Chains A and B, each alone.
Chain A
Amino acid sequence: MVQGLGQGHSRQTCLWLASLVPHLCHGPGGCGSACNARGWLSLGVIGEVGVSPLATPVPLTLFLHPGEISVTAAELYSKVRILCWVMTGPSNLETKARHVQATWTRHCNVVLFMSSVRDEGFPTVGLDTKEGRDQLYWKTIRAFQYVHQHHLEQADWFLKADDDTFVVLDNLRWLLANHTPEEPVYFGKRFKPYAKQGFMSGGAGYVLSKEALRRFVEGFRTQVCTHTTSLEDVALGQCMEKMGVQAGDSRDAARRETFHPFGPESHLTGKFSKSFWYWKYCYYPIVEGPQCCSDLAISFHYVSPELMYTLEFLTYHLRAYGYRYRYQPPLPENAARLLQRQAQPKAANATLLVQGTKIL
């Protein structure tokens, strides 16, 4: 079972939060009894099937940043449930995975660290494979099979990331809010080659709907999919295509990319040489400079431990006081339904707010 817990805040604060989102308190006795003396709010039991002792509870503090109102984020958290599994290995636990664990995976509904070897202390799931680049697809197959077997009912979407990928879960929920877990679809940084509909970059992270996960596992059970290549992302993309799972378009309303195969500095300031493979791989046109990346970016890759914390700080903490963001995405229909709000149809032009301001 998975519970959301608010750590380190008073009981008063807990009760206040609970009053904002009463529909999230499933426990017996409603929200009042859900706040214990230490201010921990139990968001309720998500599923009682297949309890895995390695699934970690998630702190609700993430929704209760001082000075912040995050009702929408909390609502999306409960309605667009994401299980994150992070590809790692025994030699990376202390150097990389630990920092992932301390930052963005706290925002997942369920998080699992996948390694070749089980580690009770970290904790990690043991996949019974070897380590190494050529083992990546085996690890991926095993990891998804494990998730399917033990955690299927605990989430609606299933994200794979590396231990040097940084993910903004709230922005991923925003993308996925406009789709349903029953759709056979998966999202990521879309690349062109190797499959008709392309495939998703492994390093930038990709997310499967529940139906897509079912079909992936089914594909291996029926041997429609096999271990074709050790290139994990290519192979997965080919399996997805065979199983009729659609490669989705993850770009924002202004057609900017959200999943990024490199770090923010590279995308924002780098000039890729024309002979670089990236030009031939990208499914959608590459934009260099500040418009490379959506404001609601979902992932970056090749992120060092220090950059993990830095990005967490920039995303969730540092801001310009009173500043009104220019990019205000419209609320698509399905998301509106989920959040019980009025839908705003997409405008004909790009939805960047320009307001006739002069570009200085």
Chain B
Amino acid sequence: MLNFNLKYLCVCMCYMCGGFVLWGQFSYIWGLFCVFVTLIGHNKMGHGTKAHHHEHHHIQAPNKEDVSNLSEGERMELSHSIRVYCIILVKPKDLGNWAAVKETWSKHCDKAEFYSSENVKVFDSVVLNTNDMWVMVRNAYKLAYERYKDEYNWFFLAHPTTFAVIENLKYFLLKKDPSQPFYIGHTVKSGELEYVDDDGGIVLSIESLKRLSKIFEDPDKCPEQGGLLWKLSEDKQLAVCLKYTGVLAENAEDSEGKDVFNTKSVGSLIKEAMANHPQQVVEGCCSDTAITFNGLAPNHMHVMMYGVYRLRAYGHNFKDLPLLPKGSLVDSISSFNINKGVKGKVE
């Protein structure tokens, strides 16, 4: 919403021009007149042609036919080519969640790194030396691009309260070309800006990250300190920067239209479902191939790992086509093990 800055600029210019001529009460009235005109003018100008009727961008997971039409070789090749780098932004106060993420879902990323506001003795991290969330986001993306642009083609950013199922992310990305500018997650509309809510996690293709790195060098379009008079949240700021490069946010949905990136926990979504559609709580709640949930305490992450990767009903088989070959190195279970003496009890 940089137009706010423009607005104030116009008001000031107008007032100054008129103010030189008039004085006393008249300059005061002239000032109000300036504000009025500027506001009207802004609305008339609009932002592009779509002032109020905006498209809400959706992007869907592949459906069954998309996947089953591939040969096994093609499927394996595709899934191997999806390499996800995970950025988790942490601060010392998040230590409990940091530990939980480290022990659980982040192991399923092709690589996961923790970007911290400051150095913490207990864990390794990439130290950003700032407490400002937008600056953290900027620098994390910059560093990630510089170091890993040739090794990974998808970049997932999350907070330590987020739980992610990376297999579902890879399934979602199966037929999407990373050399295209993708910017995916749980989107929110704020005025004319559609942005990905970072509470639900943000996914960028390598192309989007490339464009983002470029626009970081433009302090007018993508300032480091955020808006002049108006401090935007980091996720909105990111959307603004990306928009300048022609990259638009898209809301990710499964083949039934359910969101796969969630800004709330399963428990919260279930509670809402109990209130809103009590006859269809489980069926209406959430996607079966959900990618993220948010707002989880450390213990809940361990319960989710069990719930996603282990707990199931015998005899029920989803006809998912395997995407990873046998004997892959993905470890399903956290190494969270209270009794050190228990022999090799990690799955």
Contacts and interface: CB of A to CB of B under 8 A. Distances in A.
Interface string B267-279: 1001101100010
Contact of A67 (B64, B171, B304): B64
A276 interface: no
B316 interface: yes
A262 interface: no
A311 B310 CA distance: 12
Contacts, number: 198
B214 to A, nearest CB: 34
Interface residues of B, number: 65
Contacts of B335: 359-360
A103 B308 contact: no
A322 B324 contact: yes
B311 interface: yes
Given A306-B267, A321-B168, A290 B336 contact: yes
Nearest to A300: B311
Given A69-B319, A289-B339, A359-B331, A171 B307 contact: no
Contacts of A287: 339, 342, 345
A36 interface: no
B53 interface: no
Interface in B231-265: 256
A302 interface: no
Contacts of B48: none
Contact of A290 (B271, B324, B333): B333
Contact of B289 (A297, A321, A326): A321
23 contacts: A70-B316, A70-B317, A76-B315, A170-B314, A173-B314, A264-B303, A264-B307, A271-B338, A287-B339, A290-B306, A309-B274, A313-B270, A314-B266, A314-B307, A318-B266, A318-B307, A319-B288, A319-B308, A320-B167, A322-B320, A324-B322, A326-B333, A357-B331
Given A67-B319, A322-B167, A323-B332, 13 more contacts: A71-B315, A174-B315, A265-B300, A268-B302, A290-B345, A290-B346, A290-B347, A291-B346, A314-B307, A320-B167, A321-B168, A322-B321, A352-B347
Interface of A: 65-76, 102-103, 168-171, 173-174, 264-265, 268-269, 271, 287-291, 293, 295-297, 305-307, 309-327, 352, 355-360
